[in-house]
Chains A and B, each alone.
Chain A
Amino acid sequence: MTKHFLEIDNLARRFPAKQGELTVFEHASFGIDKGKFVCIIGHSGCGKSTIMNVLAGLDTPTEGHVFMDGREVSGPSLDRGVVFQNYSLLPWLTALQNVTFGVQARWPNWSKEQVREHSYKYLDMVGLGGGAELRKPAQLSGGMRQRVSIARAFAIEPKLLLLDEPFGALDALTRGTIQEELLKICDATNQTVFMITHDVDEAILLADRILLMTNGPHARIAESVKVDIDHPRDRSSIIHDPGYYPIRNHLVDFLVRRSKELSGAVAPETDAQAAGAHPKIVNPAADATAGNTSAEHSAA
């Protein structure tokens, strides 16, 4: 049954609550192919981080299974690099040591010099150097901490990157640079990425597919939106792609209106999903060129 690189099968996570149970999300089924970039979008508190913890192997699902490379995920692994939402840097280590911590764990036989060099490569990639890497996290700004955390996850070169709002605390300029850097790495190394974001434009720039999550509790993955825009992409030209605005409008419409309408426990149209089916695939870009709704920007 495992045809995708990452296969999520009818996942649910419930927490014990005062009265009964709190179902954060349920009936989540989807797959990610090797080398694909998948973003998940949903309102705050709908359970995105909870899903990611399960994928990372840090949390066990109440129902369902996760398979990676044909094997069930039953615990954390160096094959899955995680950028946590709150950075999770070790405060008694410097930024550089936080990165070498990961590199040493990944390649225990490397020499000190090798570890250092490799760590600096990734610190440079996120634009941290020139002395800042020798400071402790408490002496860094929020954005700098986030970049250290990104460097740590990228430096171990995992098969799957799990990113929880990795660019949330960055200014537009740094965010743009790192996004482009990430695109380059993914195109060059065929990196598989699962990323949580709140930023619609970021999702369109980076993702091959965007999963839309309804509001919690009882959140579900309602749709899988195909981002039908050719690679390589870059920030300045992507907005001129005919598919860009149809996709963007579809996402915004979902976040503003439909995420709430679709929320709640088992809705009638999700009976199919309750049985473990994958979310409905939509392709707003193709729909738009076929002459459907919201074609006003496609002329650009």
Chain B
Amino acid sequence: MVEAFKNSWITFKSIFIGMGITIRHFFGKSVTLQYPDERPVLPNNARAKLYVNIDDCIGCNLCARACPVNCIYIDTVPSTSDVDLGKTSTGNPKRFWLTRFDIDMAKCMYCDLCVHPCPTNCIYMVSEYEYSEFNRTNLIYHFSNLEPAMVAEVKEKAANEAAEKQRQREEMMRKKAEEAKMKQIEAKKQAEEKNDGEKGSEPSKKENGDS
């Protein structure tokens, strides 16, 4: 009986202590951020969205290779000799047209691994976090700034140049091959001549040797 009363007393006491705490909070300040009206300020280095400064990209593909989920898609076309793509702001020479630089943010897991290997620091995370979309394909961000016509042109040019180079190379190869053939023939001839000479002298040697 006494035990039961004591227990009830302890129960009541703990309940009142708890209620005291909650009523203090009731009159205390709230911590709510009224989201669309007030927005949280993310720190500068928050990892919320990827951004690529395409002007600085040299198309080295390091970021795509670092990505664990393979959500960066890069296509490059080598620039032709008549255009100079210039240099990045870090001083690296650009050698490729970026015909495609897509990042699928729906697939990205914000791990930051693609950011670190970039030699020109042109791929980085920004703290913008309001970019939801109704259609998932809209989350594929296209960073390449080449127009389709330009892409086609560049591709054609590159193809032409490649073909040209190929031709030149073939030409060179042929020339080389010819030269090699010539050389071979000459060498053969010489060898034959030598051989002849040697043949002629051989017996004498033998003779010499014999003698």
Is the pairing of A and B real? Answer: no
Which B residues form the contact surface with A (CB < 8 A)?
A: none
Which A residues form the contact surface with B (CB < 8 A)?
A: none
